[in-house]
Structure 1
Amino acid sequence: MRDLKGWGADELKVAVKRTSKRMLGLLLAAAALPVLAAGLPPPYAGTPTAKDYPHADVLVLSESRDFTLLPDGRQVEKVRRVEKILTYEGMDETGDPKVTFNEREQELSIGRCRTYTADGLTVDAKANSFNEMTPFELERAPAYTDWRQMVITKVGLDINCVVELEYTLTDKRPWRRFLEGVEPLEDQDPALERSVSLTVPEGTALNYRLFNAQAQPTVTRSGGSVTTTWTLRDIPLAPPNEMGPSESGFLPALVFTTCPGWGSESSVIGELVAKAEAVDSPQLAKKEESLLTGLRTSFEKIVALHDYVAKDINTVRWPPADFDFIPRGAAEVYDSGYGNALDKAVLLCAMLKREGIEAFVSAGRQTVPGGLDPGAVPCMAQMDTVLVRAEEPGGPIWLDPTASLAQRSPQDFVGFEGLTLQPGSRDLNTILGAAGSDRLEAHLDAAAGAGLSLEGKGLITLAGRYSPFYAVEGSADEQKAFLKTFLTSFLPGGELTEYSVVRMDPGRCVFKIAFKGPAPKTESGVCTLQTGLPEQSILAGFPASYLGERRLPLVLAGTGKEHLVLRVTLPEKAKILYLPAAAKLVNPAGSFARSWRLTGGLLRMEVSAEIPSRVIQPKDYKDWKELFGIANAQGERCVVFGSEEVRK
């Protein structure tokens, strides 16, 4: 610094004036930049980092969702989320969230989108941070384009920054029957605190259930309204490797509605569905006639009409609950060539009824023991699946209007719990599988020739959920492909040479097969006869099988009993160098047994397994892994022969 000693008064005035101008310039420059402070502001200083949450990319410091039903029937939703970015992946994950809203019925206002960096910067989102778009799922569906998404681009993101986001959705007019929703309380990001509050006018009944969490709500009254609030703290992240369509039902969630009962929903939606089914057109009638030319039985007609709706009418993957389960007319769906699940169900029912086939629409969800129970709260928002029940002389057939029978057959709907959408329905119906009907059996006999090549025949039986009826019925190519997959997974390298159908119905399929197996390779003077588990076996594989433990239950494809027998007549001089010992295991997850026996020149392998429950609890997961391990142990599935003796 310069020494000011000896300066005169005039010199000092000039210096001060120049300094003031410099300071003013610096202040103006600073005003154009983000606000600078010493680190994060007090509410967020000292909050956890990636060291405290090593498996997370984003940490939610607090999140609140407030739903209000106004006296005039309009609804307001307020969201406030404060999150801390822990990794660069977290910046990608949370940098551009989308807020979905109905532009015709709702007004979206964004109150705040602000970032506080660890370096002390405060950065507010600018006008160009908010961009409206048509949801990808609705781009080719003009009838649904009232639904929009606001893309919010957060700015100033960096590791350990904190982002505040606040927005409000306000109805422009009353347009929904009830205040209702399903609020997940655990997701891919851990949270220090998460709350949901519901505000309704005094005297308005509120039905709710908190699933998979323990939290008592607080209730406050003010200005003629009642507010009920649930708050959860220290919520872990939902384990991504354990998540599947069914496993999400085990996560904490709040289901709520002001609907008094299922009858209120079915009476209104049932009338809407009936009116939509009645919307006809000459073009639709002509199309249906062309689809059914030459078909005689009701089953053939059901399959043909369902196949058309599932494959040729484009599916719009958007929740029917967002449309308040109000369907478009059948002819409109046909003319446009697209529809959501409910629209397509209406079209399918209309076409079936024209042919005198009774059909009903049902909205519901797939359930598993211990998961979210849709019957507990009469809330349509939780119904994420729409099915059609078609009445047929052999019994009702359940159909997914968005998927062919080869993709999703009635066996896949076991556990579906839904409401029939017709006036008078007051209870949910559950699709049940026949007790003890799920069986997989194979009995194969083969003769071993030179080099241990095989040639044989056998019988394969698949019943209940194992039955491939809907995937292969009427198609020789599909039947052959199915049997080829079965054979090559059971006998690696096996070749299907011939087959015939013994029985073919929805509950049971029986096939006779003939097959060949190539001679195994010889290595170090030995050759090995290998076996496996059919791909259709429950024990053949399951998602994330590499996990050593689980926090959530594991949901298997189903339950079942399996019995496999392979008998091989060996060459006279065949010499077995290794024959696996018998293996047997019974535990809480199920049972498995495999035995090898040589009697004279007949080698016999027998496998039996039973899986009694579709849901494996975390405490039983190690038992399931042990069962899976013994069933797939490579050394226990093969027999080793001396190659010289085999060639003789």
Structure 2
Amino acid sequence: MNRLLSFLILILATTGCRQAVRTSHDVIYLLSGEEKIGALERITADSLWFRAEEGTLAFAKSEIRGLDLPQPRQGEEWKTLKDIDDSILKEILTTFTPPQIDVRYVNLYVEHNFILHEDGTFEKRMRVIRYVSAESGKGAAANNTWSYLADRAYAKVDFARSYSPDGEINHITEAAINRVSRYPAPAEYSNLTQLQIAVPESRVGSVLDFQFSTIQNVADSIHPICEEIVLEDRQPTMMEIIRVEQPQGGHLAVYASSGQKPERETRKGREILTWRIQNQPPLRFEQMTPPAADYLPHFIVAEEKDWHSIARSLRAHADKAIQPGERLTQVVDSLTQGLPASEEKARALYEFVAASIRPAGPSLDSYSYVSTLAETVLVRGFANNLDRAALLCVLMREAGLEADLVLIRDRSSGRVVPTFPTLGQLNTALVLFEDRIYLDPNSNVGFGTTSDQDAMGLSLSSGKLKKTPLRTPNEEATITSTLAQLRADGSLDLTVDVEFNGQNSAWWKRYLKPLSPAELRQEAEELAAEIHPNARLKDFRFRGIAPLNQNITYTLNVSIPDYATRAGEYLILYLPGVEHSAYWVGARDRAYPIDRVTRSADILNLSLQLPPGAELIYYPQDVSISNSYDSYAATFVQPGRGVLQFSESLQVLKPWIPPQEYPKYKELVEGMARLSQEPIVLKLH
């Protein structure tokens, strides 16, 4: 990348002038659009001296847009293929035959190295050799990222180069490397850093070869060594290697989800474990797949620990951070005064943190496992998940309530491997109230509703693993009540009331809160259009957007002209708002499990008022389909002349469906789709 001048001044001003000794030329980029090639000679607080062909030039800081200072990299002296002295690369380039398959690129070779040195530093490297096989793959193959925590490690690009079909080698320049903070604001959470590169001259037929590396200098009980790899790519991989190297008797352990045994080697007092995985197919696109770590080959490299010792180490640091102060005590007194029940107090404190502490920053595994002082969080008014949970925990304890900090692995990251204790698996903090209610102080989630259900985590007070509850389908239900008036001309008037519960309500709160009145109306119009493309919105109302203790509900009043089709003395229509598609179950089988994450229920009660004198000639039969994973029932009732009532209920009983059980899910969805395609026929008199 073009390095910022302020960064150069900070670095170079401490060393004074330096000799311009380079393996390649420097480039200075001027605001005027000019570029000068040569060598940087000297830099001060406000000026820069640069030696170019025309001599030594002086520039003011205000004239300069950026600098490109090439750094020595492995293999930079290679100009043609005959210069290459890397045995792995030479073998690949001489034996590789382009595959005759329709993919964007092919990973010819991927190697992950994890190295524990004698001085305690930890190094990890990843090398990728990749063949670009299609125009659509040029960018995806060349653009790559590498993340690290800047306060305890440093990362670099060891090399990045391309080999063209005509034998030309192109090496990366600093202009194609970018180092950015993933969370630049607020500054308190800015240590998660990302290296971004674009391998040069990525063209169809090129071979790209790049390597990242990180040296972690800080590793202790609260800054653990823990690296996870999931073998996933939308393109095929011919060979992938995982290698762990450490002194004999070292404390690194490896979890391999496949159970595959490694090759073992001892060399100069060091133990080397190697796993080789050949011919991995590209990741197949399927809907509702679980987190990749739950169904694809998965490796964890970490220090050997037990859960109790991990909790003990964290507890010592957490107890210091959550000590109450004067301001905090005042908050507790003001919020809980006069509240007799413990749950009332807990709810008041929860709603205070959720409303007054703005979410900011990364998850704790991308920042720190040590929470910020509770008083500091209270004053500054923003915090990441760990700091919000720690603040709530100390408020509750100060109020005399039973509260425990529990670190879980959020469901989107995959499940905890309980037999492989390591702090690095955990990335979300919750507060456990009275060993029965999990709390995640969030401005969109009500008391007792957590985003992560059936998620395993570590209790800091007991050192035991606990699991968040999996809520019942009704606790996660979406309930729709519809009153429909059909007229003889085929027009339809609808009043639709919808109530969201659980995580659905939390999602809608988060989505609706920032919308203006005009945007809320637009959202209501889009919801009406989902009922029917010709729907006209007459009125609408959203409720429960702000209050944490209320679920989101909305009401739509809609008219639809020509909803029913007139055929002589008959009217033909379909159930309004009932449209089930079997599109996503068109495939005969699945490669991967289905994961709906939570249980849930979708409930509809529809009352259809018929035109005066209309006779109901035909309507669909009742449907009932059940298996151990889902239950669907649809019933029609005609309680009196002129009215047809319809109710349906879909319940997700088990979120996870193994691929071999997919036919059961497919049968249920296709049955629902058939129902929604059957008409209702009326005869007018």
Per-residue deviation, 1:558: 3.3
Match of 1:225 in 2: 270
Distance 1:397 1:541, change over 3 A: farther
What is the rounded CA distance, in whole Å, between the counterparts of 2:467 and 2:91 in structure 1? 54
Match of 2:134 in 1: 87
Matching residue within 254, 257, 260 for 1:215:
260
Name the aligned partner's letter for residue 432 of structure 2.
Answer: R
Distance 1:317 1:509, change over 3 A: closer
1:574 maps to 2:614 = yes
What is the rounded CA distance, in whole Å, between the counterparts of 2:611 and 2:280 in structure 1? 64
Matching residue within 604, 608, 616 for 2:657:
616
Matching residue within 284, 291, 301 for 1:239:
284
What is the rounded CA distance, in whole Å, between the counterparts of 2:564 and 2:586 in structure 1? 32
Distance 1:385 1:219, change over 3 A: same
Distance 1:165 1:576, change over 3 A: same
1:277 maps to 2:322 = yes
TM-score, normalised to structure 1, is 0.74
Match of 1:431 in 2: 469
Per-residue deviation, 1:596: 3.8
SS of match in other structure, 1:97? strand
Structure 1 stretch displaced more, 234-243 or 559-568: 559-568
Per-residue deviation, 1:527: 3.8
Per-residue deviation, 1:302: 4.2
1:105 maps to 2:152 = yes
Match of 1:342 in 2: 386
TM-score, normalised to structure 2, is 0.70
Structure 1 stretch displaced more, 462-471 or 430-439: 462-471
1:168 maps to 2:213 = yes
Distance 1:164 1:523, change over 3 A: same
Name the aligned partner's letter for residue 67 of structure 1.
Answer: F
Contact 1:520 1:528 in 2 (8 A): no
Distance 1:466 1:45, change over 3 A: same
Per-residue deviation, 1:276: 1.0
Distance 1:223 1:92, change over 3 A: same
Return 5+ residue gaps in structure 1 as ranges. 1-30
Distance 1:606 1:173, change over 3 A: closer
Distance 1:594 1:109, change over 3 A: closer
Contact 1:113 1:166 in 2 (8 A): yes
Per-residue deviation, 1:380: 1.9
Matching residue within 190, 209, 213 for 2:236:
190
1:414 maps to 2:453 = yes
Distance 1:600 1:71, change over 3 A: same
1:531 maps to 2:531 = no
Return 5+ residue gaps in structure 2 as ranges. 1-75, 514-519
What is the rounded CA distance, in whole Å, between the counterparts of 2:445 and 2:174 in structure 1? 49
Per-residue deviation, 1:575: 2.7
Contact 2:528 2:556 in 1 (8 A): no
Per-residue deviation, 1:418: 0.7
Cα deviation digits, residues 552-586 of structure 1 (max 9, x gap): 21212533566655455656621335422444445
What is the rounded CA distance, in whole Å, between the counterparts of 2:149 and 2:254 in structure 1? 25
Match of 1:252 in 2: 297
Match of 1:202 in 2: 248
Contact 1:72 1:174 in 2 (8 A): no
Matching residue within 371, 389, 392 for 2:432:
389
Name the aligned partner's letter for residue 672 of structure 2.
Answer: A
What is the rounded CA distance, in whole Å, between the counterparts of 2:500 and 2:212 in structure 1? 54
Per-residue deviation, 1:273: 1.5
What does 1:317-332 correspond to in 2, within 5 Å? 317-323=361-367, 325-332=369-376
Match of 2:12 in 1: none
Distance 1:103 1:365, change over 3 A: closer
Cα deviation digits, residues 16-49 of structure 1 (max 9, x gap): xxxxxxxxxxxxxxx9994366999552245354
Distance 1:509 1:91, change over 3 A: closer
Distance 1:336 1:586, change over 3 A: closer
Match of 1:400 in 2: 440
Cα deviation digits, residues 284-312 of structure 1 (max 9, x gap): 55666777799886556545544554465
SS of match in other structure, 1:149? strand
Match of 2:400 in 1: 356
Distance 1:600 1:279, change over 3 A: closer
1:155 maps to 2:200 = yes
Distance 1:208 1:281, change over 3 A: farther
Matching residue within 663, 667, 671 for 1:630:
671
Identity among equivalent positions (%) equals 19
Per-residue deviation, 1:387: 1.8
Per-residue deviation, 1:74: 2.2
Q: Aligned residues, how many? A: 588
SS of match in other structure, 1:413? coil
Name the aligned partner's letter for residue 554 of structure 1.
Answer: I
What is the rounded CA distance, in whole Å, between the counterparts of 2:473 and 2:623 in structure 1? 28
What is the rounded CA distance, in whole Å, between the counterparts of 2:381 and 2:253 in structure 1? 38
Distance 1:527 1:196, change over 3 A: same
Contact 1:178 1:259 in 2 (8 A): no
What is the rounded CA distance, in whole Å, between the counterparts of 1:87 and 1:384 in structure 2? 38
What is the rounded CA distance, in whole Å, between the counterparts of 2:563 and 2:584 in structure 1? 32
Per-residue deviation, 1:193: 1.3
Contact 1:247 1:552 in 2 (8 A): no
Contact 2:628 2:653 in 1 (8 A): no
What is the rounded CA distance, in whole Å, between the counterparts of 1:307 and 1:240 in structure 2? 40
Match of 1:607 in 2: 648
Contact 1:542 1:556 in 2 (8 A): no
Contact 2:636 2:645 in 1 (8 A): yes
